[in-house]
Structure 1
Amino acid sequence: MGQKWFRAVALSLLIGVSGAVSPGLATETDGAEPEQQVGAITHLPLPRYVSMKASKGNARRGPSVTHRIDWVFMRRNMPLQITAEHGHWRRVVDQEGVGGWIHHSLLSGVRTVLIQKDMLDIHARPNDKSPVTAQLELGVVARLDQCLPDWCRLQVAGFKGWAPKTALWGVDRAELRD
């Protein structure tokens, strides 16, 4: 009992005011598989991907308008990863790891991805041998549709097709979507 009590006290000290567990910290302490972390406000998984709803969003040093603006996101639909929650604020990072705290009203649950390979072929079916439906330039933002273990179906500028997950930022490698 003493050891579990100590772990519970240590965990409660790490959780702090926001109720969020430090990244990578498992909430199970008796050898069981670690639980998925969830946001203290939304109870949705952390980390998770979202997109910019607005065409401009201030990323602040802390979760309030009194905190300094460190970064301004200037691209509507840009995929971002939420890493923490506090009230109406979400801590986000982009594909380069840059970010800060942004008001939740500037974010959307619509999933998008960022193309990370120049002139990426998107295919009619999820394999390299199927016909190419389009080529996407490095940095293009595409809407995420379905995902299989190694491929995702994308939509962009009227084109639809499949791309390998390894060429995309904004989707987890193990993520499956119907």
Structure 2
Amino acid sequence: MRKIVILVFLMALPLVTFGQGIFEKYADSEDVAYVSIKPRMFKMLATMGLDADDPDSKEFLKMVNSITSFKTIATSNAKIAAEIERWVGKRSNDLEELMVVREGNTRMKFYVKSGSSDTKVKELLMCITGIQDKVKISETDINTVVVSLTGDIDLNQISKLTSQMDIPGGEHLKNAKKKN
């Protein structure tokens, strides 16, 4: 009986590690810059220095309050970058490609999961590869960045957030529209 339990465990182990999210896998890695922001932090940030009577501030606050998860990882490690790209490739099977941007060697891919309207999405996944000497985190060059946002996300407002957080590729979301 004990041998059967061990055998089943060993057979299931690859499925458990395969299902593990890329963010969780590299959260503690020295080769990865990792950020995970919870909804409460967004709410705290959103209320700092905002004019409650300003219509833009109200829209921004509404958008920030609709975010349930924000995660990003960035690396220059070629092995990890390749694994991130494979993960994004598999993850994109469940998402709709919103757009692809190529600037020189840099590739930016944006994927979404449909939301409650044409301008809203439940999930936004951005993958940026081939960054060369453009972005530094703590004096370290990075060449691959993945950003995941979940919630009830308005694409018309998200470019403002990515610009304020200085996330590479966010400026391309200004004109993004979901494909019908």
TM-score (normalised: structure 1): 0.24
**Relative to total residues, which structure has the larger strand share, 1 or 2?**
1
Larger relative contact order (Cα-Cα within 8 Å, sequence gap ≥ 6)? 2
Structure holding more helix per residue: 2
